[in-house]
Amino acid sequence: MSRRIRRTPYTDKVEAAGVSGFSVVNHMLLPKAFQKSVAEDYWHLREHVQIWDVSVQRQVEIKGKDASRLVQWMTSRDISKASVGQCLYVPLVDENGGMINDPVLLKLEDNRYWLSIADSDVLLWAKGLALGAGIDVEINEPDVSPLAVQGPKAEDLMAKVFGEEIRKVGFFQYGRFEFKGTSQIIARSGYSKQGGFEIYLDDSTLGHNLWDTIWDSGQEFNISPGCPNLIERIEGGLLSYGNEMTRQNNPLECAMDEYVVLDGSIDFIGLTALRKIQTLGITKQIRAIVFDGKPCPTCSKPWPVMTGENSDLKIGEITSGIYSPRLEKNIGLSMIDRDYWNPGQEVTVLCADDLIREGVVSTLPLGEQRKTSD
Amino acid sequence: MSRRIRRTPYTDKVEAAGVSGFSVVNHMLLPKAFQKSVAEDYWHLREHVQIWDVSVQRQVEIKGKDASRLVQWMTSRDISKASVGQCLYVPLVDENGGMINDPVLLKLEDNRYWLSIADSDVLLWAKGLALGAGIDVEINEPDVSPLAVQGPKAEDLMAKVFGEEIRKVGFFQYGRFEFKGTSQIIARSGYSKQGGFEIYLDDSTLGHNLWDTIWDSGQEFNISPGCPNLIERIEGGLLSYGNEMTRQNNPLECAMDEYVVLDGSIDFIGLTALRKIQTLGITKQIRAIVFDGKPCPTCSKPWPVMTGENSDLKIGEITSGIYSPRLEKNIGLSMIDRDYWNPGQEVTVLCADDLIREGVVSTLPLGEQRKTSD
């Protein structure tokens, strides 16, 4: 590791907790696994509570006179009615309607926002737009390092640490809570469907202290160090920027229709392109693939999804895939061509191990889901 | 590994050649080490020839009516006299004069350029600027995957594969050479000071073939798989974006004065800020630190560089450091405060292993260098 791939305020702690590997997101370390297998970790996440170092969710702060104007220009979702204290999932699109990122937007003040980003340099995109168009804003990456507490016991743990008031924070809402004499933003959100919170720690010198506090208080709840779980993420239909979607995909293909306003009530980059795409109809859309055979290997290259009498027609590519011990099937995410995207469509999947596996197209999410959102 | 962290056209070959680890640059895999130690690899690179998968040097293609205007706006270097066939090292700066990236610019046609980038999403920066300012260009990432051939025997090997004409290609010039019926850009350049070439393969399906061709022809030259070598890079004074410099540094601090034109003959983003910085004088600049003691550990967190009677005054931070078996000293790169940046200044370095090491400030490059440039 070099300095270029940045450590987080929690990296010392995740190392002490036995991290066995890292990934890199936004030029920063993301823990990838601890001692548990992905399957063990999956069951634990569904039953108990986990602490995740998700500092890689960097904040792009946009503030100043024209901040709302710039943010609205960047996203296909209407942000005009957003209130302070609200989090919004916002597709960012380019002039072709292609996905630039899919951050969570936090409205901090009337003209001050954080974009909590996936893996692309949104800061450079926003700065370029502002500088080019002469938009009066300041754009920075503040010293904010999210720590996620996820799982069904997260609320009890968070109430123990931050007080009962935290139970009142609604899904995709945030509040300010006291920690060691500082005021920290805590949202009910996270990259799982098991419920939980994200603490937007805005002072990295408190990182060790925050980790230890959650960890120690979490012992009675069987807390474990963790990270986004691939089985749980695929079952829940949580897409990953760079995996399921890139600039070559638009938000309609990503089934984000409810966050794409094309009636002209808002103006944003990509409006014209997306209207045209909508008129012509999208040619593919994200789906789950549920497929048989022995547990599939790691999906580091996309796996072709085939159909037709001789399985010689390619209709998609699985970009994230793994075996689900709950469904006792392999599961994956793939854009699927329009003529074949109906649930029940029979397919074959060509995994990297050259075994041919039979499967079907399915809607998302997969299996019974906990209700964690309004 | 997931699809988000992209494989390259050579990754299969690199794995077959025994790669023992990867880093991530521009959302893509960069080999980090093979069987040899960094020191063994260093000596080999200085004496023989190596093949490096540097596909992570992604190309940002800027073409169209206003391409020259946009590229000039992005860099502090005068590109007006650049000719087709030329490569230019160009600092990209923001409105504060901060470094966005330090790519090599290839002029392909009068209004068509490639920026061969270090680790930040220059494509988003360029697209944002163009869209914001209404600049008439097309910006894309083409399917181009550089393969470097580095070391003193590189020219003989390349002449064997591509013909004697390649010997005439000057430093930071490129030519077009035939490979399997295609025309490929090959430049005399690379991220080492040992001489060599970079093949800008513009068809990933030829990746395996190109690797094998170089590899097979290289046997008589004692070719080895390799990657940028930290010892060689530090000795040569080759900076790394994200390590030695970030948006918090300007090109004058990076000693790139010859690529910063402030006389008003060109206009670019950051001109006003850099003029002000020049007038006030920079407060720190990049230097080498040569220091004693046992071989230093890996520099994953910056190491404080201290001076003063009680070594209690911090004057810099080493951002890349390693032991040099040739100089038989530890070496590192650090921005050093103005009052202490003269060669010979005595310092102490606080490495991560808590040992205190005595050292001195030095100019770059370190040790005797081969002449590889004009």
Task: Quick: pLDDT tens for A247-289.
Answer: 999 999 999 999 999 999 999 999 999 999 999 999 999 999 9
CB contact under 8 A, A2 and B243: yes
| Cα separation values, A360 from A332, A368, B261, Å | 11, 18, 61
The string of DSSP codes covering A23-62 is EEETTEEEEEE-SS-HHHHHHHHHHSEEEEE-TTS-EEEE
CB contact under 8 A, B94 and A269: no
pLDDT at position B1 over 80: no
Question: pLDDT value at position A300?
Answer: 86
DSSP B86: B
b (16+ CB within 10 A) / e for A288-317: bbbbebeebeebebbbbbbbeeebeeebbb
Question: pLDDT value at position B352?
Answer: 84
Q: How confident is the model at residue B374 (pLDDT cuts 50, 70, 90)?
A: very low
**CA of B303: which chain A residue's CA is closest?**
A3
Minimal Cβ distance to A132: which of B27, B128, B242: B128
CB contact under 8 A, B4 and A243: yes
pLDDT at position B303 over 60: yes
Question: pLDDT value at position A108?
Answer: 98
- Residue to mutate among B131, B140, B191, with most A CBs inside 10 A, is B131
Encoding tokens for residue B108? 């392909």
Whether cis (ω within 30° of 0) applies to the bond prior to A365 is yes
Question: pLDDT value at position B203?
Answer: 96
Q: How confident is the model at residue A354 (pLDDT cuts 50, 70, 90)?
A: confident
Assess B130–A contact: CB distance below 8 Å, yes or no: yes
Assess B180–A contact: CB distance below 8 Å, yes or no: no
Question: pLDDT value at position A298?
Answer: 87
pLDDT at position A373 over 60: no
- The DSSP bridge partners found for residue A285 are A336
Question: pLDDT value at position B300?
Answer: 86
CB contact under 8 A, B300 and A130: no
Burial status of residue B264 (CB atoms within 10 A of its CB: 0-12, 13-18, 19 or more):
exposed
CB A119 within 8 A of CB A132: no
Assess A204–B contact: CB distance below 8 Å, yes or no: no
pLDDT at position A97 over 50: yes
Residue whose C-alpha is closest to residue B186's, from B229, B157, B225? B157
CB A90 within 8 A of CB A106: no
The residue type found at A73 is W
pLDDT at position B142 over 80: yes
Question: pLDDT value at position B214?
Answer: 98
Query: Which region among A10-24, A349-363, B161-175 has the lowest average model confidence (pLDDT)?
Result: A349-363
The interface predicted TM-score of the complex, written ipTM, equals 0.96
Assess B341–A contact: CB distance below 8 Å, yes or no: no
Q: How confident is the model at residue B354 (pLDDT cuts 50, 70, 90)?
A: confident
Determine if residue B237 is left, alpha or beta; phi over 0 gives left, psi from -120 to 50 gives alpha, anything else beta: left
Q: Is B30 helix (H, G, I), strand (E, B) or coil?
A: strand
**CA of B124: which chain A residue's CA is closest?**
A125
Name chain A contacts of B320, Cβ cutoff 8 Å.
2-3
CB A148 within 8 A of CB A54: yes
Residue-wise pLDDT for A149-196, tens only, equals 999 999 999 999 999 999 999 999 999 999 999 999 999 999 999 999
Q: State mean pLDDT over A38-61.
A: 98
Minimal Cβ distance to B132: which of A27, A131, A298: A131
- The DSSP bridge partners found for residue B87 are B106
- Residue to mutate among A300, A301, A317, with most B CBs inside 10 A, is A300
Query: Which region among A104-113, B1-10, B163-172 has the lowest average model confidence (pLDDT)?
Result: B1-10
Tell which A residues from 213 to 242 touch B, by Cβ distance under 8 Å.
240-242
Question: pLDDT value at position B2?
Answer: 82
Assess B118–A contact: CB distance below 8 Å, yes or no: no
Assess A351–B contact: CB distance below 8 Å, yes or no: no
Determine if residue B162 is left, alpha or beta; phi over 0 gives left, psi from -120 to 50 gives alpha, anything else beta: alpha
Burial status of residue A133 (CB atoms within 10 A of its CB: 0-12, 13-18, 19 or more):
middle
Question: pLDDT value at position B353?
Answer: 85
Query: Residue holding tokens 């098991």?
Result: A194
Residue-wise pLDDT for A317-351, tens only, equals 999 999 999 999 999 999 999 999 999 999 999 99
CB contact under 8 A, B124 and A128: yes
pLDDT at position A374 over 50: no
Name chain A contacts of B70, Cβ cutoff 8 Å.
none
- Residue to mutate among A56, A121, A227, A335, with most B CBs inside 10 A, is A121
The side-by-side arrangement of strands in the sheet containing A145-150 is A174-179, A182-187, A196-201, A145-150, A49-53, A223-226
pLDDT at position B369 over 80: no
Q: What is the mean pLDDT of chain A?
A: 96
Run of H or E including A215: helix A207-217
In Å, how far is B324's CA from the nearest CA of chain A? 17
Question: pLDDT value at position A352?
Answer: 84
Q: Please state, for a pLDDT cut of 90, what percent of chain B lies above it.
A: 94
Query: Which region among A250-254, A317-321, A370-374, B343-347 has the lowest average model confidence (pLDDT)?
Result: A370-374
**CA of A5: which chain B residue's CA is closest?**
B242
In Å, how far is A318's CA from the nearest CA of chain B? 10
Minimal Cβ distance to B299: which of A3, A124, A128: A3
Other CB atoms within 10 Å distance of the CB of residue B55: 27
Residue whose C-alpha is closest to residue A10's, from A19, A2, A1? A19
- Residue to mutate among A93, A115, A124, with most B CBs inside 10 A, is A124
Q: Please state, for a pLDDT cut of 90, what percent of chain A lies above it.
A: 94
Name chain A contacts of B243, Cβ cutoff 8 Å.
2-4
Q: State mean pLDDT over B107-130.
A: 98
CB B272 within 8 A of CB B250: no
Assess B371–A contact: CB distance below 8 Å, yes or no: no
Assess A131–B contact: CB distance below 8 Å, yes or no: yes
b (16+ CB within 10 A) / e for B22-31: bbbbbbbbbb
Residue-wise pLDDT for B154-203, tens only, equals 999 999 999 999 999 999 999 999 999 999 999 999 999 999 999 999 99
Cα separation, B366 vs B344, in Å, equals 13
Cα separation, B292 vs B311, in Å, equals 16
**CA of B95: which chain A residue's CA is closest?**
A131
CB contact under 8 A, B94 and A127: yes
